[in-house]
Structure 1
Amino acid sequence: MQIIIGTTNKAKTKAVETICRPYYPDASFVNKEVDSFVSAQPLSNEETRQGAINRAKQLIGQGDTLFGIGLEGGVQEIDGALYMCNWGALVTNSGEVFTAMGAGIPLPDEIAEKLRAGAELGPVMDVYTNRKGIRHAEGAIGVFTDGLITRSMMFEHIMSLLIGQYELSKKLL
């Protein structure tokens, strides 16, 4: 049985495996890079959620797949500030779609200005921190929470919400 993850991002993959392994110990985890069919930098909760759903839907119906997982990071504007927003989707082979959202904190104005001008958060964070691959490690959430919450931890929370919904739906059948 396979759990297919619609990304090759290390932080997202770690989150899926950390949460799913205890529930599905015999599952193999397969990464597949798929398009979100939304902006490279989603600019709303709705667009970010749709990106996660789009990723997950492309993964179903491929062999012995239990479900597909799509995880998407974006930003949304609230009262003039840009907040990080994060969404996940779990899609089953029968077409059921489960979604969940995660943590969000405001971004500093200097980061928000670059995103409003069309930049993507990951590369902006690499410049801001003078490091490469922030999105595969602690992510912006890790930088702006002083490491208390990492990108993987944030997506683990989303994965827990998704798996909880999925497992409950099986009990209700």
Structure 2
Amino acid sequence: MIVSIGTTNPAKVRAVKLAFAEIDLIQEFIEADVSSGVSSQPFSDEETMKGAINRAEASRKETGADIGIGLEGGVVETSFGFFLCNWGALTDGSLSQPIVAGGARIQLPLEIGAELVKGRELSDVMDEFSHRTETGKNEGAMGIFTNGAVDRTEMFAHVVKLLAGRYQYEKSRQSL
């Protein structure tokens, strides 16, 4: 079985490979640099979810893989402040709709939210805030604000495990 990953972002690619490591069905992973079809900084659950679905579908179609995986990170504004959100989607062409799962959330400091409202992307704000480069390809805001307890790869790996488990459940139902 071939899995297409709808990104070349190293943190997301590691997450997919880590999550699928225990599944013997996977023979190959293909990274596909596809568009999310949403803004570069998704600002709602709905937009972030749509980006994940778009990436899953586009990567599978572009590569001809058996399964397409899309992962998207975003920000949600609530009455309690700004929160990271992350969504994933899996499609294989035989499902009536993509399988979608969301993951961990953590509140962002007010000064980070203030920069996002100005239209800046979280990855740029985090690089500046942390005095590091390419945090979005490494630990991400999740890793920084959890002091390394949970990084971006681990956060997305959890989402991919949810997707893979649901996929296996759906496939087992189809074989009944």
Task: Provide the residue aligned with 2:100 in structure 1.
Answer: 99
- After TM superposition, give the deviation of residue 20 of structure 1 in Å: 1.0
Which amino acid is the alignment partner of residue 142 of structure 1?
G
Q: Say whether the 8 Å CA contact 1:89–1:98 is kept in structure 2.
A: yes
Percent of aligned positions that are identical: 43
- What code does the residue aligned with 1:150 have? D
3-state SS in 2 of match to 1:114: helix
Aligned length, in residue pairs: 173
Q: Does the CA-based 8 Å contact 2:15-2:154 persist in structure 1?
A: yes
Aligned-pair distance for 1:66? 1.9
Gap regions ≥5 residues in structure 1: none
Pairwise CA distance, 1:60: 2.4
Q: Say whether 1:151 aligns with 2:152.
A: yes
TM-score, normalised relative to structure 1: 0.95
State how far apart, in whole Å, the 2-side matches of 1:45 and 1:99 are. Answer: 12
Equivalent in the alignment of 1:87? 87
Question: Quick one: structure 1 residues 26 and 159, their matched pair in 2 at CA, closer, same or farther if it must change by over 3 Å?
Answer: closer
TM-score, normalised with respect to structure 2: 0.94
Equivalent position of 2:30 in the other structure? 30
Letter in 2 for 1:40: S
CA root-mean-square deviation? 1.4
State the Cα deviation string for residues 65-116 of structure 1 (Å, max 9, x = none).
2200100000001105110000000011225410000111111011100101
1:129 aligns with 2:130: yes
What is the letter of the counterpart of residue 152 of structure 1?
Answer: T
Q: Take 1:75 and 1:43, find their aligned partners in 2: how far apart are those partners?
A: 5
Give the Cα separation in 2 of the matches to 1:49 and 1:26: 25
